[in-house]
Structure 1
Amino acid sequence: MGHRYKVREIAQQSGLSEATVDRVLHERPGVREDTRAEVRQAIADLDKQRTQLRLSGRKFFVDVVMQAPERFCSQVRSALEAELPMLSPAVVRSRFHFRETESVPAMLETLDGIRARGSHGLIVKAPDDPQVSDALDAVVAAGIPVVTYVSDVPSSARTAYVGIDDGAAGATAAYLVDQWLGESTSSVLVTLSHDTFRNEGEREIGFRRALRRTASGVPRAVFDIARSSGLDDTVEDLVVEALTLHPDIEAVYSIGGGNVATVRAFERVGRRCRVFIAHDLDADNRRLLAERSISAVLHHDLRADARSACRLLMQAAGALEGVRDEPSPVHVVTPHNTPR
């Protein structure tokens, strides 16, 4: 057990004698387990008090940069704004820089502006591109810690990545598709917003790999649509084209969004989608799930991710300790267990 505090401090916090605390700290025999637990709790309380004092009066300005459809950006904004008051006694303010379509030059311009202006931290969803990685390195070199969010840029000097295990999420989607299709040899359509986002690529790899090793053993063709930006206007025509070229497509794994458009595309060609697996509980997916137009949603808690991202940035500034960047859990949501 660490000796971060004087025996007297721990004794005052726990209400135990200094002699008892000393025996616990040095792991000497003759001390009851509940007494040892009291000492551990006292140290944890002192840690919390020290953190509160360190945070008191601290102000952090955090920039949030995302290239994603507006429906997802709105979710992220709501999640972050709901979490910021919970970071008290520190005061955290956010500045949002959102763009719907993928553009490396636009991302570079935004990152350069933040580097020049200054910030206490950057939360970013960006393409995994060498130029973007270099720009993030320049932001970090300017003293601004970076947390990649939802999609990683691992070659950069970012502090941490906050998001799900995308390969495992893709494998989960493959498991669900195989269970629903059973012995059918129907093909599967995978839709992506853009092939430069690392999270989407890892989901697709995980999906394809797991689909080749499913319990049914049925071989299935997989076709993909990329560079749709996840926008309904773009997605619908691309899906119609794919359905026309491949009449045996009866399942969809939507990685990049545009699910309203995908449902419309099946309706346009008069075909049934037997299995539809999507990501994220935005307003569109909630409605489609309730209508049974999609089968299941792979969901993770964006508020928990936002809280983790902010705490990692605060830790990089020396205001917190012990914050770890662990993958967010993925939940399979059906019409029967949709959270509020």
Structure 2
Amino acid sequence: MAHRFLIKEIALQAGLGVATVDRVLNDRAHVREHTRLRVEQAIKELEKQELRLATTGRKLFVDVVVEAPARFADEIKSALDAELPIFQPATFRPRFTLRETMSTSDVLDTLHTIGRRGSHGVFLKARDVPEIAEAIGELQRQGIPVVTIFTDIPLSGRVAYAGLDNRVAGATAAYLVGQWLGPQPNTVLITMSDGHFRGEEEREMSFRRALRTRHPQLKLIDASGGHGLDGPTEERVRKVVSAETSIAAVYSMGGGNTAILRALEARKQTPVCFIGHDLDRDNVRLLREGKVQAILHHDLRQDMRYACQHVMHFHKLMPATAVSSSSSVVVVTPENVPDYIASRLRL
């Protein structure tokens, strides 16, 4: 039985004699099963106590690097801030780099600066390109763990991905659109912020695959590339949707939903269903106004908790068994907006 404690410590924790514990640890005969289980439990209890002592007063500096519209970046920051008190006595000290757009060189400069300055971990939302993947690998070699958040960079050496399963999200959106529109031929507008975000790419591929399989009568029009920002997104939609085009549904993977609706209204288009992502202030308002029918939501707090736990596990401050799961996809309608989100947004 593997352990790193003195037999005397284990005996004291288990409330057993030293000779009895010695027999258990060395797998000798004539040991009752409940005695063996008590020794195993004592070792687990000592491991937990050791971890608590190791985390007392420990400060962990983590860098949060996010390319996202301000409305979503604010939600990420709020979710992380809400989770930090649960890790006491360890103290997380986040340092935020939140920008609406970041070029590959911007991300690389930021990651190289983190490497020079030092950090206990990085939470990263960035595009899946080879240069960024290599920079993540370099941080890993320096002993700085990187957790990708909400969109993955799997071939990078990152220690974990925290976020929803984007393939499941895309398939769920296809199911909802198919149920809303029925068997008639129709046109569906899709938008992504940027094709290099793997998460949105996975949503789109899964959405297209599910429609081809189950609803081949539905035609897609693509207005991607607006970075989730209102101005560029509205321009993209206006460019691909004409007054003669009848848009029956919208699947917005990258945000800018107010701008999408504004562009459609200018073309005198009112979709039967509009599916979006993330419960930010704009989307909750659009849900309640009946302009968006469903939001694919995932618990950002759960994802940020998962990311923090992986950093603690990397630094041997938490056992792997204590790391929780990441979030799953939840369909939110105007009738089931979570109270804690509505109250925080004061909507």
TM-score by length of 2: 0.87
What pairs up with 1:285-300 in 2 under 5 angstroms? 285-300=283-298
Question: Kindly tell me: are residues 21 and 300 of structure 1, through their superposed partners in 2, closer, same or farther at Cα, counting changes over 3 Å?
Answer: farther
Segments of structure 2 that go 5 or more residues without pairing to the other structure are 341-347
1:264 aligned to 2:262?
yes
- 1:68 match: 68
**Equivalent-residue separation in structure 1 for 2:285 and 2:37 (angstroms):** 49
What pairs up with 1:1-340 in 2 under 5 angstroms? 9=9, 12-13=12-13, 44-214=44-214, 217-244=215-242, 247-322=245-320, 326-339=325-338, 340=340
What letter is aligned with 2:91? V
* C-alpha contact 1:193 1:230 (8 A) present in aligned 2: yes
How far 1:16 sits from its partner (Å)?
Answer: 7.0
Q: Aligned to 1:158, what secondary structure does the other structure show? A: coil
Q: Aligned to 2:271, what secondary structure does the other structure show? A: coil
How far 1:134 sits from its partner (Å)?
Answer: 1.7
Cα-to-partner distance string for 1:122-158 (whole Å, 9 max, x where unaligned): 1111111111112222222222111111111112121
How far 1:46 sits from its partner (Å)?
Answer: 3.4
RMSD over aligned Cα, in angstroms? 2.7
What letter is aligned with 1:180? W
* C-alpha contact 1:162 1:325 (8 A) present in aligned 2: no
Question: Kindly tell me: are residues 237 and 276 of structure 1, through their superposed partners in 2, closer, same or farther at Cα, counting changes over 3 Å?
Answer: same
Q: Aligned to 1:287, what secondary structure does the other structure show? A: helix
**Equivalent-residue separation in structure 2 for 1:72 and 1:158 (angstroms):** 22
Q: Aligned to 2:155, what secondary structure does the other structure show? A: coil
* C-alpha contact 1:23 1:31 (8 A) present in aligned 2: no
Question: Kindly tell me: are residues 13 and 325 of structure 1, through their superposed partners in 2, closer, same or farther at Cα, counting changes over 3 Å?
Answer: closer
Segments of structure 1 that go 5 or more residues without pairing to the other structure are none
**Equivalent-residue separation in structure 1 for 2:244 and 2:50 (angstroms):** 62
What letter is aligned with 2:290? R
Cα-to-partner distance string for 1:264-307 (whole Å, 9 max, x where unaligned): 22222222111111111111111111111111111111111111
* C-alpha contact 1:236 1:261 (8 A) present in aligned 2: yes
**Equivalent-residue separation in structure 1 for 2:193 and 2:160 (angstroms):** 24
* C-alpha contact 1:102 1:194 (8 A) present in aligned 2: no
Cα-to-partner distance string for 1:207-242 (whole Å, 9 max, x where unaligned): 11111222xx45211122221010011112222232
**Equivalent-residue separation in structure 1 for 2:324 and 2:140 (angstroms):** 18
How far 1:47 sits from its partner (Å)?
Answer: 3.4
Moved more, 62-71 or 126-135: 126-135
How far 1:184 sits from its partner (Å)?
Answer: 2.5
**Equivalent-residue separation in structure 2 for 1:23 and 1:184 (angstroms):** 74
**Equivalent-residue separation in structure 2 for 1:31 and 1:267 (angstroms):** 72
What letter is aligned with 1:242? V
* C-alpha contact 1:184 1:218 (8 A) present in aligned 2: no
* C-alpha contact 2:123 2:148 (8 A) present in aligned 1: yes
**Equivalent-residue separation in structure 1 for 2:287 and 2:250 (angstroms):** 14
Q: Aligned to 1:221, what secondary structure does the other structure show? A: strand
Question: Kindly tell me: are residues 253 and 93 of structure 1, through their superposed partners in 2, closer, same or farther at Cα, counting changes over 3 Å?
Answer: same
**Equivalent-residue separation in structure 2 for 1:250 and 1:137 (angstroms):** 44
Q: Aligned to 1:213, what secondary structure does the other structure show? A: helix
Cα-to-partner distance string for 1:156-202 (whole Å, 9 max, x where unaligned): 12111111111111001101110111123111111111111110100
Identity %: 48
**Equivalent-residue separation in structure 2 for 1:250 and 1:16 (angstroms):** 72
* C-alpha contact 2:61 2:93 (8 A) present in aligned 1: yes
* C-alpha contact 1:153 1:198 (8 A) present in aligned 2: yes
What letter is aligned with 2:124? V
Cα-to-partner distance string for 1:61-80 (whole Å, 9 max, x where unaligned): 11010111001110111111
Q: Aligned to 2:154, what secondary structure does the other structure show? A: coil
How far 1:327 sits from its partner (Å)?
Answer: 4.5
How far 1:308 sits from its partner (Å)?
Answer: 1.0
What letter is aligned with 1:336? E
Q: How many residues align?
A: 336
Cα-to-partner distance string for 1:38-81 (whole Å, 9 max, x where unaligned): 77765554333222112112111110101110011101111111
**Equivalent-residue separation in structure 1 for 2:244 and 2:112 (angstroms):** 44
* C-alpha contact 2:247 2:270 (8 A) present in aligned 1: no
How far 1:14 sits from its partner (Å)?
Answer: 5.7
**Equivalent-residue separation in structure 2 for 1:286 and 1:106 (angstroms):** 32
**Equivalent-residue separation in structure 1 for 2:38 and 2:246 (angstroms):** 65
TM-score by length of 1: 0.89
**Equivalent-residue separation in structure 1 for 2:165 and 2:123 (angstroms):** 18
